[in-house]
Structure 1
């Protein structure tokens, strides 16, 4: 794991495997399930571009400042000492450093493959091919209104090591506020973004806390809303950033490690609502109610 190197090169060209998701005949997302990426980005499946029904792009992938941030993906900074987030690793007492510890999420096989549902088995392995996690991931999309559609992501992760497996965020290693790791959305570049949630307007009321939903509006073109898909996910804290770049994550482990016993499985489910144009707080709350699962 030794060594501090240079940042990774820019994203490679065309992906080796990609699938298209459609809603009401519109191409709304491309799922890159077998990417051609540098190891330092922690290669993994991701969704980009993701678009509104009117065609506005709401994701970014491989920007110059964070080449490891890939549209919508599931990424974890520390799984048993391996970096499945990409980029530098936060080292307690030192800070971020380039280490030779990046992992890869390998597509293993398709379980379902249609224009509105993708389900596949994944193998999270280190650079030497040793598996740490096995995953079943399902991605579905459906229309909601004439200007909104929903993307549902469900992940089932199983410890594949035969020993206790810790999952950590940089916050758990001593970096305050950096509790990211799990589902993550990197937004398309915008001049300003408005964050709404029942906890209040802006980043501060919701970052590091829980809320039944949150929404980010990127100017006049789009709004993206995030709603937990089950009670377990609803207990996870939100990671929200709107300075330098815009990103939202649902955190598996904030300031304490999540330790999986051998063969233990965890599941998370999140609904992402993609909307043309801005939303008021009342309109966002009403839309969240339409996708929130019944108790």
Structure 2
């Protein structure tokens, strides 16, 4: 049986997932360490549609630390694992390199290709600047449901972060520190420059008013440069994330912008800090549908509902 993808591992640098037949590199997961000012951490770039169009940005001139799709922590117990300037209430963004930390690749436990796609599981350590690890993360990336019928494929990102300090870890954002509508932290997507002023869609709303609000999914559609056409990315909470907080989990809120650039993050510390006690684990799982074309709300609802989640594995 012909497998849907091939996986190429350039050891010490990156993993590539390539669609068989077309030869399109659907994603490149880069885990080499990069510039210390940019809070080195693994990231996905490029991320592509099935037709080969790139739907991520990398090191834009406004924020060099924005790199495709990556897990971030903008305010973590006084450290900045986001990159660049740090927000200080009353003073704005300041160059404080002593605060900028990193998320370091520690190894892969599993790298596998199967009939329906591919997956890999990684171990990482989270560090303040020049210090001992504050946290350990187990991360699983899955590529699946690669369908020419729907013109889309699915990426599932699972992260389980365990506090290894002897005191609580406090996850925050610029908003928890006093800046309105800047609740970015957690999984973060930066779109390509051409996606500026794109379309934002949620189950019951559209547009920038979704900033700081809650919903089980949020979609962003943009138009390509160079090639004709559009693409849609749908960011989806898994059921166990309990994105409303109704079941006792810390509630998530969307950070989303279409201007001056395209960005989406299902922030877990938008309005309030998330406190992770010593030895406790913060587990979150997200899905990103990467589609050619512009999907309307009915299409998004149908496609999101058609994919099952299965059992969550930390």
1:213 — aligned with what? 217
The whole-number CA distance in structure 2 between the counterparts of 1:230 and 1:131 is 30
Q: Pick from 280, 285, 289: which aligns with 1:269? A: 285
Structure 1 residue runs of 4+, over 3 Å off?
A: 22-26, 292-295
Q: Pick from 230, 234, 244: which aligns with 1:225? A: 234
Q: Pick from 279, 283, 287: which aligns with 2:299? A: 283
CA apart distance, 1:22: 3.2
Q: Does 2:208 match 1:203?
A: yes
1:20 — aligned with what? 16
Residues matched between the structures, number? 280
| SS, match of residue 105 in structure 2 | strand
Q: Does 2:80 match 1:83?
A: yes
1:57-206 correspondence to structure 2 within 5 Å = 57-100=54-97, 101-115=99-113, 116-146=118-148, 147-190=151-194, 191-204=196-209, 206=210
RMSD: 1.8
Q: Which runs of 5+ in 1 are unaligned?
A: 1-13
The whole-number CA distance in structure 1 between the counterparts of 2:301 and 2:177 is 35
The whole-number CA distance in structure 1 between the counterparts of 2:180 and 2:233 is 26
1:1-12 correspondence to structure 2 within 5 Å = none
Of stretches 150-159 and 17-26 in structure 1, the one that deviates more from structure 2 is 17-26
Q: Pick from 245, 250, 254: which aligns with 2:266? A: 250
The whole-number CA distance in structure 2 between the counterparts of 1:279 and 1:86 is 33
1:52 — aligned with what? 49
The whole-number CA distance in structure 2 between the counterparts of 1:88 and 1:288 is 36
CA apart distance, 1:255: 1.9
Q: Is the contact between residue 222 and residue 275 of structure 1 (CA under 8 Å) also seen in structure 2? A: yes
Q: Is the contact between residue 197 and residue 261 of structure 2 (CA under 8 Å) also seen in structure 1? A: no
CA apart distance, 1:192: 3.2
Using the size of structure 1 for normalisation, the TM-score is 0.90
Q: Is the contact between residue 51 and residue 57 of structure 1 (CA under 8 Å) also seen in structure 2? A: yes
The whole-number CA distance in structure 2 between the counterparts of 1:283 and 1:203 is 21
The whole-number CA distance in structure 1 between the counterparts of 2:88 and 2:11 is 32
The whole-number CA distance in structure 1 between the counterparts of 2:135 and 2:14 is 23
Of stretches 169-178 and 182-191 in structure 1, the one that deviates more from structure 2 is 182-191
2:249 — aligned with what? none
The whole-number CA distance in structure 2 between the counterparts of 1:28 and 1:230 is 26
CA apart distance, 1:233: 5.0
